A and B are shown apart, each in its own frame.
Chain A
Amino acid sequence: MLHELKNHRGAQGYLRLTGVPAEGLEHGCDSGIDLAYLQDQIPDLRDLSKSSQDLANDTEDLLALIELPQFHSPEDSGVSGVDPRIRSQLAELQLRPDRVLHFGQDEGLPRQDTLEFSRLEAWSCQLQGRVWDPNSLSSFWFELVNGAYGDVYRAKGLMNLPDGRAFFCNWMVSQSGSQFLPLEQLAPPDGRPNRISALVVQGKALDSNGIRSTIADCLLTDAVLELHQAPQRERQSQPTPAN
């Protein structure tokens, strides 16, 4: 899907609908992670949540990716498989999707996602301005997705590293291994980065105190961050040798 959006010659956009609450079930918080990652990959990507009322009047060549959160596996395919309450949200925006993909049904999306599980807890943590010790992030992620802090079914995050890079970390119980996708944009070596950074987790019996406490042990202090950034600034200030 990312590839399709990237290669589209016209305008590109992204919209995440809010979803509909259900008894005993909790929506995973997105914390803006998907939009931030997509905007890093496609700098001109429009955040349609800010202009959704105008969507119907938008340019005809707009390709929009719309996320439709719902709890249950659809009985039908395509639009008719979408929860009627979410269909009405689309109708309010005067949107008629050209194509609807469902987790577990359509190629291009994982065969299984968290849809099969009930009574999942959702936990999230804002990490804006926070920078991880890289090896600590690796250990924490390993522990998180292998069950050290409860039965985790889904985890994703945008994490900053001290060299200015950030990674989209993505894991779901039905997939083998985690994705660690680097963002294109580098943060300058000058204090704390101001891009969106967050972690969202879904699972059962989540040990939120344990997660929080381990994260605190992984994040760099100002002094340690400066130790990483000072040599980077020095390198950048050196003149490039003439050919």
Chain B
Amino acid sequence: MHHAVISCLHANLAAFEAVLEDIDRQGIERITCLGDLVGYGPQPNEVVELIRHRAIPTCQGCWDEDIIDGLNACECSYPSQLAERRGHRAHQWTDEQLSQDNKDFLATLPTSLRRGRQLFVHGSPNSQHEYLLPDMDAFAALERVETAGADTLFCGHTHQPYVRELRDGSIRVRVQSSDSSQSAEQELKLPVRRIVNAGSVGEPRHGSTKATYVIHDEDNGSVEIKEVSYDVERTCRAIVDAGLPEVFAWRLSHGFEYAERAEDASHVCER
């Protein structure tokens, strides 16, 4: 059975509609969303309402959380003063536009979803704000998956789709007996674990304007990263019409994210 995983829609309705059309055309009925329904993009209400209309199981992203709880992250979330000011402007605009009903919906979203040994989160099992980058330390990556009790961890947040298999993991422990006369070393072999990043529907950061998502074959475990063209100009016009910074439209139309990722992407904000 095939299963589609989408993430980081960022209020980009044209991209979301194109991805849904692509999924529907393949006859895939099960969809899971990893959050960030809103933020930067011009159609927050429309995107949230479409998620609700399609009853897509969704976990809460960092932007969804910030809209509910307010901006209380430290400045570490942004790589520059410019990105921070733009982020705050986008936050304020989204906060003003999003209906109370849709905010209430975002507040109900869980931080993770589980299906058997599959875990679905926005950033990492630890935080919606933590980036699991494709090149992060293998031990740290394995720790995130193993301690969450998952075989496959689906995440988003980085906006870069990838599939990473963690093989040959082992934990070596030395056990000292209570009389301290002897110690014994034990090695625990860990089975293969996997991190699947779904990329971003609404704000791609993989060098192209195309929306990305993944299809997971639950029977044989294969994962396919999909790229979908959509009407970028339509979203750009909506950005300008909405009064959001015009540079957002320029960045989106050139395949650049609205704001660069923070320099230390592994940093988790201490709120």
B interface footprint on A46-81 (CB within 8 Å = 1, 0 otherwise): 000000000000000000000000000000000000
- Report B-chain residues with C-beta under 8 Å of the C-beta of A178: none
Q: Considering only CB atoms, which chain A residue lies closest to B83 in the complex?
A: A139
Interface flag for A217 (CB, 8 Å): yes
In the assembled complex, the Cα of A143 lies from the Cα of B247 at a distance in Å of 9
**Can you give 30 A-B contacts (C-beta < 8 A)?**
A133-B80, A133-B81, A133-B82, A135-B79, A135-B80, A135-B81, A135-B82, A135-B263, A136-B80, A136-B81, A136-B83, A138-B80, A139-B80, A139-B83, A140-B82, A143-B251, A146-B254, A147-B250, A148-B247, A148-B251, A149-B247, A207-B246, A210-B246, A210-B247, A217-B81, A217-B85, A218-B80, A218-B81, A218-B82, A224-B81
Q: Could you tell me the distance in whole angstroms from the C-beta of B207 to the nearest C-beta in chain A?
A: 14
Measured CA separation A210–B244 after assembly (Å) = 12
Asked if B21 is an interface residue, CB under 8 A from chain A, the answer is: no
Total contacting residues, chain B, CB less than 8 A: 14
A221's nearest neighbour on chain B, judged by CB, is: B81
A143 and B250 within 8 A (CB): yes
Question: A residues within 8 Å of B by Cβ?
Answer: 133-136, 138-140, 143, 146-149, 207, 210, 214, 217-218, 220, 224
CA distance A140 to B251 in the complex (A): 12
Residues 61-81 of chain B, each 1 if its beta carbon lies under 8 Å from chain A, else 0: 000000000000000000111
Chain B's closest residue to A219 (CB) is B81
Q: Which residues of B contact A207 (CB under 8 A)?
A: 246
Q: B86 is contacted by which of A134, A210, A217 (Cβ under 8 Å)?
A: A217
Contact residues in B for A148 (Cβ distance below 8 Å): 247, 250-251
User: A214 with B82: in contact, given A135-B263, A139-B260 (CB under 8 Å)?
Assistant: yes
Partner of A214, one of B79, B247, B254, B263: B247
Give the most central of B80, B85, B86, B250: most A CB within 10 Å.
Answer: B80
| CB of A216, distance to nearest CB on chain B (Å) | 9
Known: A139-B82, A148-B250, A214-B247. 10 other contacts (CB 8 A): A133-B82, A134-B80, A136-B80, A138-B80, A143-B247, A143-B251, A146-B254, A210-B246, A217-B86, A218-B80
Instruction: Please report the C-alpha to C-alpha distance between residue A139 and residue B79 in the assembled complex, in whole angstroms.
Output: 10
- Whether A136 contacts B82 in the complex (CB less than 8 A), given A143-B247, A148-B247, A210-B247, comes out as yes
Most buried by B among A136, A139, A147, A214: A139
The minimal Cβ–Cβ distance linking A10 to chain B, given in whole angstroms, is 46
In the bound complex, what is the Cα–Cα distance between A143 and B82 (angstroms)? 12
| Nearest 8 interchain pairs by C-beta | A135-B80, A136-B82, A133-B81, A136-B80, A217-B85, A148-B250, A136-B81, A217-B82
Cα(A214)–Cα(B82), bound, Å: 7
Write out the residue numbers on chain A whose beta carbons fall within 8 Å of the beta carbon of B79.
135
Across-interface contacts of A136 in B (CB, < 8 A)? 80-83
Q: Which residues of chain B are within 8 angstroms of A217 by Cβ–Cβ distance?
A: 81-82, 85-86
Closest to A136 in B: B82
Please measure, in the bound complex, the distance between the C-alpha atom of A208 and the C-alpha atom of B80, giving whole angstroms: 22
Most buried by A among B79, B81, B246, B260: B81
Give A226 Cβ to nearest chain B Cβ, in Å: 15
Nearest chain A CB to B6 CB, angstrom units: 28
Cβ-defined contact, A220 with B250, below 8 A: no
Distance in Å: Cβ of A119 to nearest Cβ of chain B: 23
Q: Smallest Cβ distance from A230 to chain B, in angstroms?
A: 18
Q: Which residues of B contact A139 (CB under 8 A)?
A: 80, 82-83, 260
In the bound assembly, the distance between CA atoms of A30 and B159 in angstroms comes to 41
Q: Which residues of B contact A140 (CB under 8 A)?
A: 82
List, in ascending order, chain A residues with CB within 8 A of B263's CB. 135
Measured between beta carbons, the chain B residues less than 8 angstroms from A147 are 250
Which residues of chain A have C-beta atoms less than 8 A from B86's C-beta? 217
